[in-house]
Amino acid sequence: MLHPKPLIPWPAARDAFYRQAPVAAPQTPILPAQQQAMLQALWFLAQHQLAVSALGLAARQQAPGRYMPPVPPATKLPGYQSLRIVYNNDPHEKFKALPYLVSAFSELSRQGDAAGRDVLRLNSGDNNVGKEPHEWALNVRLMNLIRYHAVTMGNHELDLGSPFYAGGLAQAEFPTVVSNFKIPPGSELHKRVREGKVLTAPQILRDKQGVYGLIGVTTPELKKVVSNKAKMQGETVQSFAETVENVKAQVAWLQSMGINKILVLSHLGYDLDQKLARTVPGLDVIVGGHSHDVIEGITPGANYLQTPTGEPVLIVQGGKNAQYMGVADVLFDPQGRVIPQQNRLISTYILPPNAQATQMRDEVLGKPQKIAEILTPYDCNDNQYHADPVAQFTADTLCAATGADIAFVRSSEIRSNIDQGVFTDHDIKELMPFKDPIVRVKYTGTEILDSLNRSAQGLAKHEAHPGMLHPSGLAFTLNRQTGKVQQAYVFNKTSRQWEQLNPTKTYTVALGEFSVSNKEFPAFSRPERVEWNSGQPMQAFFALGLKQAGAPHQPIRFQDDGRLQIVSQPPANAFAAKL
| Least confident stretch, 67-71, 203-207, 268-272 | 67-71
Q: Which helix (H) or strand (E) holds 359?
A: helix 355-365
CA dist 256 and 537 (Å) reads: 51
Q: Which of 57-61, 69-73, 360-364 has the lowest mean pLDDT?
A: 57-61
Question: In whole angstroms, what is the distance from residue 78 CA to residue 61 CA?
Answer: 32
Mean local confidence (pLDDT), 88-105: 95
| Confidence grade of residue 14 (pLDDT, cut at 50, 70, 90) | very low
- Per-residue DSSP letter, 436: P
Q: Is the pLDDT of residue 577 over 80?
A: no
Largest CA distance in the chain: 81
Task: Please state whether 540 falls in left (phi above 0), alpha (psi between -120 and 50) or beta.
Answer: alpha
Are 536 and 443 a contacting pair, CB within 8 Å? no
Is pLDDT above 80 for 36?
no
Tens of pLDDT, residues 81-91: 999 999 999 99
β-pair partners for 322: none
102-147 per-position pLDDT tens digit: 999 999 999 999 999 999 999 999 999 888 899 999 999 999 999 9
For residue 567, what pLDDT band results from cuts at 50, 70 and 90? confident
Residue (of 324, 235, 239, 244) closest to 286 by Cα position: 244
- The answer on pLDDT for 160 being more than 90 is no
Average pLDDT value for residue range 158-164: 92
pLDDT range class, residue 379, cuts 50, 70, 90: confident
Whether a cis peptide bond, with omega within 30° of 0, leads into 389 is no
What would the pLDDT profile of 532-543 be if each residue is shown by its tens digit?
999 999 999 999
Average pLDDT, the chain: 86
Q: What is the pLDDT of residue 460?
A: 59
pLDDT of residue 63: 57
The DSSP code sequence of 205-228 is EE-SS-EEEEEEE--TTHHHHS-T
pLDDT digits (tens, 9 = 90+) for 242-295: 999 999 999 999 999 999 999 999 999 999 999 999 999 999 999 999 999 999
Q: Which of 211-220, 383-392, 432-441, 466-475 has the lowest mean pLDDT?
A: 383-392
**Does 571 score more than 80 pLDDT?**
no
The band of 59, judged by pLDDT with boundaries at 50, 70 and 90, is very low
Q: CB neighbours (10 Å) of residue 19?
A: 8
Residue with the bigger pLDDT between 139 and 435: it is: 139
* 42: confidence class by pLDDT, cuts 50, 70, 90: very low
Q: Are 285 and 316 in contact (CB under 8 A)?
A: yes
Rounded to whole angstroms, the Cα distance separating 197 from 216 reads: 13
- Share of residues in the chain with pLDDT > 70 (%): 84
User: Exposed/middle/buried for 566, CB within 10 Å: 0-12, 13-18, 19+?
Assistant: middle
- Report in angstroms the alpha-carbon separations of 235 from 163, 183, 185: 11, 5, 10
Q: CB-based contacts of 514: which residues, under 8 Å, 6+ apart?
A: 227, 434, 436
Tell me the C-alpha distance between 120 and 150, whole Å. 8
* Average pLDDT of the segment spanning 547-573: 84
277 residue type, one letter: A
Question: How, if at all, do strands 469-472 and 406-410 pair?
Answer: antiparallel
3-state SS class at 118:
strand
Give exposure, 38-73, as e/b (b: 16+ Cβ within 10 Å).
bebbbebbeeeebebbebbbbbbebebbebbbbbbb
> How many Cα atoms occupy the beta-carbon half-sphere of 73 within 13 Å?
10
**pLDDT at residue 463 in the model:** 58
d(CA 279, CA 306): 9
Q: Which of 4-8, 355-359, 379-383, 431-435 has the lowest mean pLDDT?
A: 4-8
The pLDDT of residue 570 is 56
